[in-house]
């Protein structure tokens, strides 16, 4: 074998191979059929460099399927409903028509427009005041399979691509917060708190106590609170009449004298 200077890749391989005890046996390529066929991938065939030609990246069939599910079917219904409801929003239509008659095109840019039976605000379909319809639109962009229960901002972004109404962000936020599926699937940001552990059972009575106050009571004989001391083993309870807002020292005295 010839002595040669290794490049960094060869040097790394040489170092790696030096850990093993092995001998190399040369097999001529005519006799290495099995190993050879296993190492050949289908896409390594001859003329493989030509199979990138004449390809359509976004295939027509993909577009059609998406179209059918979301836009044609359900959205057309919504647009129809909005058109029918136009009467409900006379005020908006009146304002827009007035604007047009007066020839004020520059009123807040082209913010409001009439397009056929639809009122557009900044190119988005204005949705009339109809809670059912709004919910239907949000549902379309949140619950339908393609939308996939996005979060508040994702859903808002999808809805406002085509629609607008006053308070759309708030309405979408409320809808997403109340979505039953989202509540069930929500990822917890914190680690689980751990298993519920039983409290230790005391060995003797009056070993472990719980102390609490009952306050905001009516003033009777100068007292308006009750100190409650409870033994965890015997379940015995002491009630001591006292006042709210006492000092630590008074509490200690009360405890020593009564319990």
Site for Zn ion in 142-181 (CB under 5 A): 149, 179, 181
Q: Return d(Cα 26, Cα 150) in angstroms, integer.
A: 59
Among 158, 203, 209, 150, smallest CA distance to 176 is for: 150
Give the binding range for Zn ion (CB under 5 A) out of 86-94, 127-135, 141-149, 153-161. 141-149
Q: Which of 96, 140, 168, 182 binds Zn ion (CB under 5 A)?
A: 182
For the CB of residue 134, give the shortest distance to Zn ion in the complex, in Å.
16
Query: Nearer Cβ to Zn ion, position 181 or 237?
Result: 181
Q: At its nearest, how many Å lie between Zn ion and the CB of residue 173?
A: 12
CB of residue 142 to Zn ion, shortest distance in Å: 5
Q: Does residue 138 interact with Zn ion by CB under 5 A?
A: no
> CA–CA distance from 46 to each of 31, 35, 40, 42, 49 (Å)?
21, 19, 11, 10, 8
Distances (CA, A) of 76 to 28, 35, 62, 120: 69, 59, 20, 16
Minimum distance from CB of 147 to Zn ion (Å)?
A: 9
Closer of 179 and 227 to Zn ion (Cβ): 179
Spatial distance between the Cα atoms of 254 and 5, rounded to a whole number of angstroms: 91
Integer Cα distance of 124 and 164 in angstroms: 6
Measured between alpha carbons, how far is residue 235 from residues 15, 204, 215, 230 in Å?
74, 12, 22, 6
Comparison of 149 and 152: residue with beta carbon closer to Zn ion: 149
Cβ at position 172, least distance to Zn ion in Å: 11
Residues near Zn ion (CB under 5 A) are 149, 179, 181-182
């Amino acid at each position: 074998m010839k002595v040669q200077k290794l490049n960094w890749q060869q040097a790394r391989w040489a170092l790696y191979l030096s850990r093993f005890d092995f001998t190399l046996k040369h097999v001529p390529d005519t006799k290495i059929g099995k190993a050879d066929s296993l190492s050949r991938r289908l896409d390594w065939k001859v003329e493989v460099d030509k199979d990138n030609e004449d390809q359509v990246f976004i295939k027509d069939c993909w577009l059609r399927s998406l179209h059918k599910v979301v836009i044609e079917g359900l959205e057309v219904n919504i647009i129809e409903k909005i058109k029918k409801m136009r009467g409900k929003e006379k005020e908006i239509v009146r304002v827009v028509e007035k604007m047009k008659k007066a020839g004020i095109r520059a009123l807040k840019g082209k913010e409001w427009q009439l397009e056929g039976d639809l009122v557009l605000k900044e190119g988005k379909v204005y949705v009339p005041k109809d809670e059912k319809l709004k919910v239907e639109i949000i549902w379309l962009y949140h619950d339908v399979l393609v939308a996939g229960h996005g979060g508040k901002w994702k859903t808002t972004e999808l809805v406002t691509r085509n629609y607008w109404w006053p308070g759309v962000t708030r309405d979408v936020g409320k809808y997403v917060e109340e979505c039953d599926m989202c509540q069930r699937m929500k990822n917890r940001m914190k680690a689980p708190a751990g298993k519920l552990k039983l409290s230790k059972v005391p060995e003797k009575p009056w070993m472990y106590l719980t102390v609490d106050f009952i306050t905001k009571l009516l003033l009777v004989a100068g007292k308006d609170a009750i100190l409650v001391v409870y033994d965890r083993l015997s379940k015995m309870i002491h009630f001591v009449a006292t006042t709210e807002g006492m000092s630590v020292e008074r509490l200690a005295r009360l405890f020593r004298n009564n319990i």
